[in-house]
């Protein structure tokens, strides 16, 4: 039987609390036993054990009925509230893991927020078995998404891979195309495609070390034996687009739809770059509710 540890070395049995609260309401031993689908001796024994644990009488006989003692009345207030809180907690957890009405805590990097994440959720909810599920969204760079996974603040994320984190499962979600972005009045803006070597003389707005794309870009330039002029550092794509459009430099970004909302020119990269992937990330030791497992399978299969 589950027990709740209390101060002073007292251990309270949950069933004892349920019996006590029902007995306090009915004020009758036989009726309460019948209501609880147990025997009267079993109910009496449970109350005796509860009184032993607390060291004080909680009930007394008044004729054929039962009344609470002064200690019973005081204890009843707290026992009733405690059981109510426990029931709320049980209901909360059961709803959270319910495969049809639970909540999926979904995190994703900024580039996924404009199209990929909303479309994925929309298509997932079109399935009738998913229509009553709820979503809670969190955004950030890759390091933030991984941190949220480690803190169990989210169930699943879309982000880059951080290879030195053995606690996270990374499954390939999609390949992401990268492009050069320059201001509309930039000397390179007349080009539709170029090699990265053609950009080296110009200052870059570059991703900072908290970005999941940063290690990939560093590897790209190192493999090409190029050293770009890193002059300004930002955390996410839309900030980079803002600084590029204001003339602070050029940048390499994922080919996201929102590029078209800025006064910039998008240029294709001719260098044969290694594949840049976005991953579905989950914590290896985390419990994944059925709805989250279904959503993960949906992301990986669609």
Domain boundaries, the chain: 3-97, 103-174+278-301, 178-275
Q: Judging by DSSP bridges, how do beta strands 193-194 and 264-269 pair with one another?
A: parallel
**Range 3-97 has CATH code 1.10.10.10:** yes
225 CA to centre of own chain: 39
Place of tokens 């000397």: 187
3-state SS assignment for residue 132 = coil
CB 145, CB 159: distance < 8 Å: yes
| 217 in Cβ contact with 226 (< 8 Å) | no
Is 103-174+278-301 CATH 3.40.190.10?
A: yes
Q: How far apart are CA 15 and CA 20, in angstroms?
A: 8
- Asked, colleague to colleague, whether 3-97 and 178-275 share their fold, the answer is no
pTM attached to this predicted model: 0.71
**Position of tokens 């019973």?**
72
Are 158 and 295 a contacting pair, CB within 8 Å?
no
- Asked whether the beta carbons of 133 and 100 are under 8 A apart, the reply is yes
Q: Note every long-range contact of 140-145, with CB atoms under 8 Å and residues 24 or more positions apart, other chains counting.
A: 140/107, 140/109, 140/110, 141/109, 141/110, 141/210, 141/211, 141/212, 141/235, 141/236, 142/109, 142/210, 142/211, 142/212, 142/213, 143/210, 143/211, 143/212, 144/107, 144/210, 145/107, 145/108, 145/109, 145/281
Sites in the chain below the pLDDT cut of 70: 1-11, 95-96, 99
- Give the three-class secondary structure for 279: strand
- Domain 178-275 class, CATH top level: alpha beta
DSSP state of 100: T
Whether 64 contacts 32, CB under 8 Å: no
CB 164 within 8 A of CB 183: no
133, two tokens:
């599920």
């Amino acid at each position: 039987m589950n027990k709740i540890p209390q101060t002073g070395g007292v251990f309270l049995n949950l069933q004892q609390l349920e019996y006590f609260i029902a007995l306090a309401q009915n004020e009758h031993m036989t009726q309460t036993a019948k209501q609880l689908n147990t025997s009267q001796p079993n109910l009496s024994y449970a109350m005796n054990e509860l009184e032993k644990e607390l060291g004080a009488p909680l009930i007394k006989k008044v004729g054929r009925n039962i009344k609470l003692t002064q200690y019973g009345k005081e204890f009843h207030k707290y026992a009733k509230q405690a059981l109510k809180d426990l029931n709320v907690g049980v209901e909360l957890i059961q709803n959270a893991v319910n495969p049809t009405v639970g909540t999926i805590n979904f995190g994703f990097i900024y580039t996924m927020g404009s199209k990929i994440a909303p479309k994925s959720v929309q298509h997932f909810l079109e399935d009738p078995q998913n229509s009553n599920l709820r979503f809670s969204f969190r955004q950030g760079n890759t390091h933030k998404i991984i941190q949220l996974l480690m803190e169990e603040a989210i169930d699943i994320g879309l982000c880059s891979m951080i290879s030195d984190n053995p606690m996270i499962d990374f499954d390939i979600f999609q390949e992401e195309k990268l492009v050069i972005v320059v201001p509309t009045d930039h000397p390179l803006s007349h080009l539709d495609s170029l090699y990265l070597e053609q950009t080296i003389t110009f200052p870059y707005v570059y991703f900072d070390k908290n970005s999941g794309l940063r290690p990939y870009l560093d590897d790209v330039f190192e493999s090409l034996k190029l050293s770009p002029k890193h002059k300004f550092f930002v955390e996410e794509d839309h900030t980079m687009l803002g600084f590029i459009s204001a003339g602070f430099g050029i940048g390499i970004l994922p080919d996201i739809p929102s590029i078209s909302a800025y006064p910039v020119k998008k240029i294709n990269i001719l260098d044969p770059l290694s594949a840049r992937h976005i991953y579905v990330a989950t914590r290896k030791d985390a419990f994944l509710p059925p709805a989250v497992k279904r959503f993960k399978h949906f992301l990986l299969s669609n």
